[in-house]
Amino acid sequence: MLHTSGITAGNTPSGYHEASQAVSIDYRAFPNTPNGYAPVHVACPEDRPSIRSASTLSSEETSCNSSNLPNIGIAISGGGFDAFMNGAGALKALTTAPRVQLLRASSVAYCSRPLMFQLLAEVPGCSRPATVNPLQFWGNITAQVKAKEDAGFVTSSPDFWGRIQGYFSFNASHGGVDLTWSSIAKTQAFQEGDMPLPLVVSDGQYFDKSEDLPTLKEPVYDYSPWEFGTYDHSIYGFAPLEYLGTRFVNGVVPENETCVRGFDNAGFITGTSSDTWNENRTDIAAIIRTQILPLLPSNSSEAELFSYVLKDYLSAVGSTNSTVNGPAAYDPSPFYQYNKDSSPFAQDTRLTVVDGGEKLENVTFNPLIQRKRNVDVIFAVDTTNHPYPHYWPNGTSLVTTYERTLGGFANDTSFPSIPDKNTFINLGLNTHPTFFGCNSSNLTTPAPLVVYLPNHPVTYMSNMSSQESGFTNAKRDDVILNGYNIATQANGTLDSNWTTCVGCAILSRSFDRTDTAVPKACSQCFQRYCWNGTIDNQTPSTYSPSVILPSSTFVSASTSPTAHSMSTSLSPAAWSSAAILGMVLLAVI
């Protein structure tokens, strides 16, 4: 029963949009797992599931394509709670802003470390489930994960992370324990085309390198409501999502095998896509044991709780005190023995899957730049919090995607030319909307126009680091509102022609296809927003922006005394664990 909540933004100056109205959207997913969080073996359907080649789009996707309309993509980056909220504000704008409402027209939406369909009124760190005993709260999560292990499936840190995400993000009973990602395809809104195609992305890694960051060579996995897989040549196949967890051999289910349903739990999908537990060669248990417990008074209630959590965690994942449990495990691998002459993963019985931004493609464009999708324009919301410059985006994600397409790792993809990171900062391309790929005649292969919407301080200093200690409701609202104002240019305050320019970006490739003269208004827009090819790769000076439209005194979260003092106590990995387990403690505040 996943459905959206309203967004309530803080007070805004006169002339700015106050994003306070509730948004009502029908159910986005259904509780259709056979047995809660635990996958279940079931009889296979008469038309037994199989792995399809990635040489085409799925039949379900091609059946709803329309060649007469522009194909619009929306890509929302990861980057912690800051990205969670900034993306929510941008998504709010693209859904409800006067004369914009792109989401209603969008063909494809992509979310890294997913926002899913939630336009959240409250986010982790600001909210909590109904008041419960923390041991009971953690006990419920542990029991759910343990049920999956008892059913014979491998469990790991992302199972816990996904379950906790569910309690704090899904508007459903028991944290959406029985929601599946494949159920999205069964909803009326999706079947009638009233919502875009949601695509979530994660990265692949070799099992024996599961504690290392993947390189550009490793696959990028897509999740749609229909299937899971990759267009990359390393696997080049897709499995039916509803039957993920089924044992496939060389693309088919053996005659004597049953099928599995319920593996594609919505929280597990989102937990996988935001699974960073391999980044510091650690996991939840190791962080609790080595970095959190030593900081707590030995007889405190917090120490007692974390000790309890550690014991239950190790039990539910079948780990030991010396074992690093690691990233998400898709076991059995749906691609076992598939394309065995070319796939380096064909002999792996377990598929190792990690956070979708670990290749530095935090705005993971990969699903949207497949030529077979014919996407015309991508609205890219980038909240990547790079330490330099001061936790603002610097174009790294776009640069990395461009390099990956040139490196031949991603089959049949096209991306417009992108300048280097220094040029991004020196030319201020990260301080306002920028269009890339405006002149299609300069492209060697067809590619979408990219409308880059970097996080920058329109109405709030939203450059929060991943070590930010917490969010008040006011801070949450300010970040959401800033994201809204980035996507709308403060509802036209910064540029009264912005909505016209958005329309021009959408129609740009249609002008090319139909050999239509570009209207004067669009030419003016392109003159203002398109990167003109200029390069300035010298080392940039310090980038320290100010709020463009200040309404009060704001403090940068990345330099606040609280954030600084806390970051000296815990490592980034510890912050990840503390953020997760802190949610449990919030249940009794």
The residues near 481 (Cβ < 8 Å, ≥ 6 apart) are 9, 10, 12, 16, 19, 89, 459, 460
Which of 259, 59, 54, 276 lies closest to 157, judged by CA? 276
Cβ-contact 476, 168 below 8 angstroms: no
Cβ-contact 236, 154 below 8 angstroms: no
Would you call the peptide bond into 419 cis, given omega within 30 degrees of 0 as the criterion?
Answer: no
Q: Is 59 helix (H, G, I), strand (E, B) or coil?
A: helix
Cα–Cα distance measured from residue 371 to residue 71, given in angstroms and rounded to the nearest whole number: 12
Cα–Cα distance measured from residue 139 to residue 156, given in angstroms and rounded to the nearest whole number: 16
Q: Half-sphere exposure of 536 toward its Cβ, with a 13 Å CA cutoff?
A: 13
For the chain, the structural domain boundaries read 40-586
Q: What angle do CA 155, 157, 160 make, to 5 degrees?
A: 85
Domain 40-586 homologous superfamily, CATH: Cytosolic phospholipase A2 catalytic domain (3.40.1090.10)
- DSSP code per residue over 76-91: E---HHHHHHHHHHHH
DSSP 8-class letter at 413 = B
pLDDT digits (tens, 9 = 90+) for 531-582: 999 999 999 988 889 999 986 433 333 333 323 222 333 343 443 444 444 4
Give the Å distances, CA to CA, from 445 to 109, 371, 401, 441, 556.
23, 9, 15, 9, 42
- DSSP code per residue over 200-264: EEEEEE-GGGTTS---TTS-EEEE-SSEEEE-STTT-EEEEGGGTTS--BTTB--TTPPEEESTT
HEC readout, 104-164 = HHCCEEEECCCCCCCCCCCCECCECCCCCCHHHHHHHHHHHHHHHHHCCCCCCHHHHHHHH
Cα–Cα distance measured from residue 210 to residue 204, given in angstroms and rounded to the nearest whole number: 9
Give the Å distances, CA to CA, from 83 to 102, 103, 441, 506.
19, 18, 34, 24
Give the Å distances, CA to CA, from 178 to 138, 263, 321, 563.
18, 10, 30, 37
Task: State the angle between helix axes of 134-150 and 572-586 in degrees (0 to 180), rounded to the nearest 10.
Answer: 110
Cβ-contact 461, 68 below 8 angstroms: no
Cα–Cα distance measured from residue 191 to residue 168, given in angstroms and rounded to the nearest whole number: 27
> Could you read off the pLDDT tens digit of each residue along the chain, which spans 589 residues?
222 222 222 233 333 333 333 333 456 788 888 899 999 999 999 999 999 999 999 999 888 766 657 888 999 998 777 788 898 899 888 877 655 556 555 666 555 433 333 333 333 333 445 555 667 777 888 889 999 999 999 988 889 888 988 887 787 888 899 999 999 999 988 888 778 888 999 999 888 887 788 888 999 999 999 999 999 999 999 999 999 999 999 999 999 999 999 999 999 998 888 877 666 666 666 767 776 777 777 777 777 777 777 777 666 666 544 344 567 889 999 999 999 999 999 999 999 998 888 888 999 899 999 999 999 999 999 998 877 667 899 999 999 999 999 988 878 899 999 999 999 999 999 999 999 999 988 888 899 999 999 999 999 999 876 545 456 778 888 999 999 999 999 999 999 999 999 999 999 999 998 999 999 999 999 999 999 999 999 999 888 899 999 864 333 333 333 232 223 333 434 434 444 444 444 333 3
pLDDT digits (tens, 9 = 90+) for 24-75: 345 678 888 889 999 999 999 999 999 999 999 999 988 876 665 788 899 9
